[in-house]
Structure 1
């Protein structure tokens, strides 16, 4: 099953089990086969572990995971942190930026769902702070930004632009009259850098432009298709030697 699941990894998170997963071959529609998809993610990263996820709401809420919960009982939030082993932190996206983080020395990991609302609201800073509470040092934390809608694909209007502070201007380029192209991944990377993390990598994979690999909410909406398709990004602590 896991072999049918596209998985992108990065050297930035080397030695930490992780993956930015693409569309699952077992899907028949937007979210058909999602339980099988979740099982395939665990099989790929850490067989036998518990996949812990949230009811994502585009918030800035970060939840510390001490013990895994049933998927049906998952709380609301948009970021997870843990120092527990045998747990896989997972989140779903379809244009928003998935961010996976680790402080290898402290043995602390995090995962954040960073759409524009969450990033603007502080979900990344909250994730870093929660990791620190578990013993991480922000200067040792490294983060990777997975598949997300790219600036060339992300047209926004004047009202959207006006919701950001003046110092975010460099993440908007002028497009057609009254519109801009927003660099979500660049904005997310900047928020992480300003939070003091030690390293940030952007995989620069455009969900909108790669329909064979990734779901895209915006693409589906523009094409009149189902908009509930999502892909999973996940991270776990390695098993102790």
Structure 2
């Protein structure tokens, strides 16, 4: 049985899928939708087909890109034969589901229901700092959306209590804007704790979207429901699954 987290703040058919209900086994146990993982390709295809069915679209209409931690956005008008290198998508085409894959990074889903425009973004710290969220909003505007009518929701991602970083990480943010130090708390020794969803919400609200929210689920803390790159790294495991989050008109 698939487990799908939704938000009342997002006025479009959508889902932040947990790892439950998939066909993968071993370290990937559950709904691993990451073709870039070392999981069996045919099993990943089964998992993606299950997610597509839950979204009410054909498997080829569940559109993903080759995520590279960039601020690049692709405008999609139909199923993609090749996955472009980008980290966000927008569309005004009914029947398409835009999907992003994550394992601690922020999956962010966007909708302007009046304009009939949706978006999806993969926003890790680098993409968020470089402007992928703002770029997604701007791309939606080119399709007729109005930013004050856009609702954006951040799905399950790593929380501040679990996101330990070094001082050089803080420097990258402080160099961009000294005010960004407020998204860091003191950890052990010279370690700091970074508030990724807090930063994402700040950037969304500063971009002028009508509503921005976070579902408040931490991928690192809940191993039964979520994959986590950082948890896998700490456990010394060879690889990790990818969660899928999708939205459609």
SS of corresponding position for 2:149: coil
SS of corresponding position for 1:59: coil
Aligned residues: 231
**How far is 1:35 from its partner?**
0.9
**How far is 1:42 from its partner?**
1.0
Q: Tell which deviates more after alignment, 178-187 or 227-236.
A: 227-236
**Is the CA contact (8 Å cut-off) linking 2:201 and 2:214 kept in structure 1?**
yes
Distance 1:171 1:200 in 2: 17
Equivalences for 1:113-192 in 2 at 5 Å?
113-165=122-174, 166-192=178-204
Partner of 1:85 in structure 2? 94
Partner of 1:68 in structure 2? 79
**Is the CA contact (8 Å cut-off) linking 1:17 and 1:46 kept in structure 2?**
no
**Is the CA contact (8 Å cut-off) linking 1:86 and 1:236 kept in structure 2?**
yes
**How far is 1:48 from its partner?**
3.1
Unmatched segments (≥5 aa) in structure 2? 29-38
Q: For residues 10-34 of structure 1, what are the alpha-carbon distances to aligned partners after superposition, in whole Å with 9 as ceiling and x for unaligned?
A: 10113x1100001143111434421
1:43 aligns with 2:56: no
Distance 2:160 2:193 in 1: 6
Indicate which of 90, 96, 108 corresponds to 1:99. 108
Partner of 1:13 in structure 2? 10
Query: Given the two structures, how large is their TM-score scaled by the length of structure 2?
Result: 0.90
Distance 1:207 1:34 in 2: 20
Q: Report the RMSD for the aligned CA atoms in angstroms.
A: 1.1
SS of corresponding position for 2:148: coil
SS of corresponding position for 1:119: helix
Q: Tell which deviates more after alignment, 216-225 or 5-14.
A: 5-14
**How far is 1:97 from its partner?**
0.4
**How far is 1:228 from its partner?**
3.4
SS of corresponding position for 1:113: strand
Partner of 1:199 in structure 2? 211
Distance 2:57 2:218 in 1: 29
Indicate which of 209, 224, 238 corresponds to 2:221. 209
Partner of 1:232 in structure 2? 244
Partner of 1:25 in structure 2? 22
Query: Given the two structures, how large is their TM-score scaled by the length of structure 1?
Result: 0.93
Q: For residues 111-151 of structure 1, what are the alpha-carbon distances to aligned partners after superposition, in whole Å with 9 as ceiling and x for unaligned?
A: 00000000000100100000000000000000000000000
Distance 1:228 1:128 in 2: 30
